[in-house]
Structure 1
Amino acid sequence: MRAVITRELKGPAGLELAELPAPETGACQVRIAVDAAGVNFADALMLEGRYQERPALPFVPGLEVAGRIDKVGVGVKGLECGEHVLALVDHGGFAEQAIARADDVVSLPEGFDPIIAAGFAIAYGTAFGALVWRAGLAKGEVLLVHGAAGGVGSTAVECGKAMGATVIATARGSDRLAIATAHGADHVIDSDAPDLVEQIRALTNGAGVDVVFDPVGGALFAASLRAIAWEGR
């Protein structure tokens, strides 16, 4: 099979196209014929040896894929060859075939675009985990999302709206603010605005926001502390 492989931790510059043997399934694993693979910031970190998981060199990067199951390992239940799925993988997604644990595989509806599916799990999973598991965002609360035009930020806007929150989104520049609006933000503010905190507090009648989703950090973190409500998260 063809795969994108790295033999040295040199970032994306160290990637090369190679021919490798097809991987074999272990117990409770499936093999997926990959139609599309998501590309994430975590991949870049892994290629530089700065991610929390560090596969032995050489390795094939890629953490999420969509495609069709072409082999089922011993002990797998509820998944069959030919089924269209998305999956999280430890690494190995940037290849024509990838191995995934059956528990990390989700069946796709018929006709679901694999390109959309391949970019779904990590971005939406990160936003969902932060807003539901950690923050406990509730219907009627106010959510502030920084970096709202980025992959994770835009999914946080969508998740917040789906959960019934009022969403205030920040991003840099009119083009990025338009992206945040397109994803459903109720209010948008340029993150470079000198009166950022004052604008946020004005939109909440001085009360501040209930939840802050901040994938940016830095100066925005300090601004968030000044814009958050009592007992905010």
Structure 2
Amino acid sequence: MEAVVNTAEELVEIVLPGKVEPDGLEIRRGQVPAPGPGQVLVEMEATGVSFAEQQMRRGRYYDQPPFPFVPGYDLVGTVRATGAGVPADLTGARVAALVKVGAWASHVLVDAADAVPVPDGIDPSDAETLVLNGVTAWQMLHRRARVRAGQTVLVHGANGGVGSILVQLARAAGAHVIGTASARHHEALREQGVTPVDHRAGNVAARVRALAPAGVDAVFDHVGGPGVVDSWKLLAPGGTLVSYGTASTRDAEGSARLPVLKLLGRLWLWNALPNRRSACFFNVWAGRALSGNRFRARLRADLAALFAALGRGDVTPRIAARYPLADVAEALRLAESGTVAGKVLLTP
């Protein structure tokens, strides 16, 4: 039997109408939608402000939809109704989902197959930090670089949403971690066992080389641009460069796709050279269209591993700030300021 939607509730969603400043985001209100066959209606409890949305508002995310649309890459919430073909006993369950767009809303329609159960006792805000950012960190560390105990890794942006989880997972795996961040975050990184390097002081590559004269076993680089060459050169024999963004071009003009294509070409060329190092580009969404079931199985397994790591204390959620959905402009400005540690969240 299908659950009934409470028609007294109101849908509130944030619309990105075009290339606008944060204040240009629009609040749209309407009727809460009913789930269709195979869908669940999720009442959002927490969603995140990621770097993807920062690029999207500039029209610079590689494959974003045409304007206008509702941003929001991931969410955690409670199932309020189920569509045909979905067990009604899912109603009331807390779930997490990667949706790429659409999560900046009070209620979100999600394919039931994409809804991942969140264990009892985990705060929805804490769980939210592990969905997009945590899965990205986990898959880069364990599925791409396959980091092992005793190895040394370099994490750029070690205080950021992904970086703050990545350094914790790497330390839990027994790796030595060098992390770039501005000086204000260095003490917190040291407390986590991370060796900090000030990315604003210049000569980052030389200072990392001084810390790891033989090179590092993995570099996690979200910056892209010319600096990715230094990331490649810092690898030890057998090392892996995992590139997962082009943050250096966030405010650039011109084609949004060209920086990504240039980066992919550079990585392909390095892999074609006769050497003992490897490079890859990571996109957490990649492969969903071609292998949806495999994508879902991997997401469920990796989120389960992250929730277990949270339970063990291997990961502590880093929440920079929480804002109500209506204050999305202020939340986005803070996320873009480059001053925060961890993730900025939106709540109902």
TM-score with structure 1 length normalisation? 0.86
Map of 2:125 onto structure 1: 115
8 Å contact kept, 2:82–2:88: no
Give the partner amino acid of 1:209: V
Between the two proteins, what is the percent identity of the paired residues?
A: 37
Structure 1 stretch displaced more, 147-156 or 41-50: 41-50
1:50 aligns with 2:57: no
Map of 1:189 onto structure 2: 197
Change (3 A) 1:11 1:195: closer
Q: Is the partner of 1:231 in helix, strand or coil?
A: strand
Whole-Å separation in 2 of the counterparts to 1:30 and 1:102: 6
Using the TM superposition, give the Cα deviation of residue 39 of structure 1 relative to its aligned residue in structure 2, in angstroms.
1.1
1:176 is aligned, of 173, 185, 189, to 185
Change (3 A) 1:105 1:60: same
Whole-Å separation in 1 of the counterparts to 2:53 and 2:39: 22
When the two chains are superposed, the root-mean-square deviation of aligned CA atoms in Å is: 2.4
Q: Stretches of 4+ moved more than 3 A in 1? A: 52-58, 75-79, 192-199, 201-204, 217-220
Render the CA deviation track for 1:43-87: whole Å, top value 9, x for unaligned. Answer: 222233322343354322212111110012233369700011221
8 Å contact kept, 2:215–2:236: yes
1:153 is aligned, of 150, 154, 163, to 163
8 Å contact kept, 1:140–1:165: yes
Whole-Å separation in 2 of the counterparts to 1:197 and 1:51: 28
Using the TM superposition, give the Cα deviation of residue 203 of structure 1 relative to its aligned residue in structure 2, in angstroms.
3.2
Map of 2:211 onto structure 1: 203
1:223 aligns with 2:230: yes
Using the TM superposition, give the Cα deviation of residue 36 of structure 1 relative to its aligned residue in structure 2, in angstroms.
1.6
Whole-Å separation in 2 of the counterparts to 1:103 and 1:138: 32
Using the TM superposition, give the Cα deviation of residue 192 of structure 1 relative to its aligned residue in structure 2, in angstroms.
3.9
Whole-Å separation in 2 of the counterparts to 1:59 and 1:122: 19
8 Å contact kept, 2:41–2:82: yes
Q: Runs of 5+ in structure 1 lacking a partner?
A: none
Whole-Å separation in 1 of the counterparts to 2:179 and 2:60: 29
Whole-Å separation in 1 of the counterparts to 2:46 and 2:109: 14
Map of 2:86 onto structure 1: 76
Question: RCO higher in 1 or 2 (8 Å CA, sep ≥ 6)?
Answer: 2
Map of 1:132 onto structure 2: 142
Whole-Å separation in 1 of the counterparts to 2:69 and 2:207: 47
Whole-Å separation in 2 of the counterparts to 1:56 and 1:91: 11
Using the TM superposition, give the Cα deviation of residue 186 of structure 1 relative to its aligned residue in structure 2, in angstroms.
3.3
Whole-Å separation in 2 of the counterparts to 1:78 and 1:134: 38
Map of 1:232 onto structure 2: 239
Render the CA deviation track for 1:189-215: whole Å, top value 9, x for unaligned. Answer: 2224555444433433x2211101111
8 Å contact kept, 2:190–2:196: yes
Render the CA deviation track for 1:89-121: whole Å, top value 9, x for unaligned. Answer: 242211110112223222122232112222321
TM-score with structure 2 length normalisation? 0.60
Whole-Å separation in 2 of the counterparts to 1:125 and 1:155: 9
Change (3 A) 1:97 1:152: same
Using the TM superposition, give the Cα deviation of residue 8 of structure 1 relative to its aligned residue in structure 2, in angstroms.
3.1
Q: Is the partner of 1:52 in helix, strand or coil?
A: coil
8 Å contact kept, 1:127–1:152: yes
Whole-Å separation in 2 of the counterparts to 1:164 and 1:104: 32
Render the CA deviation track for 1:144-185: whole Å, top value 9, x for unaligned. Answer: 111111111111101211222111112121x12223334x24
1:8 aligns with 2:18: yes
Whole-Å separation in 2 of the counterparts to 1:188 and 1:198: 14
Q: Runs of 5+ in structure 2 lacking a partner?
A: 1-10, 241-348
Listed as ranges, the matches of 1:3-42 within 5 Å are 3-42=13-52
Render the CA deviation track for 1:115-157: whole Å, top value 9, x for unaligned. Answer: 2222321111211222222212222211111111111111110
Render the CA deviation track for 1:5-37: whole Å, top value 9, x for unaligned. Answer: 233342533311221222332332211011121
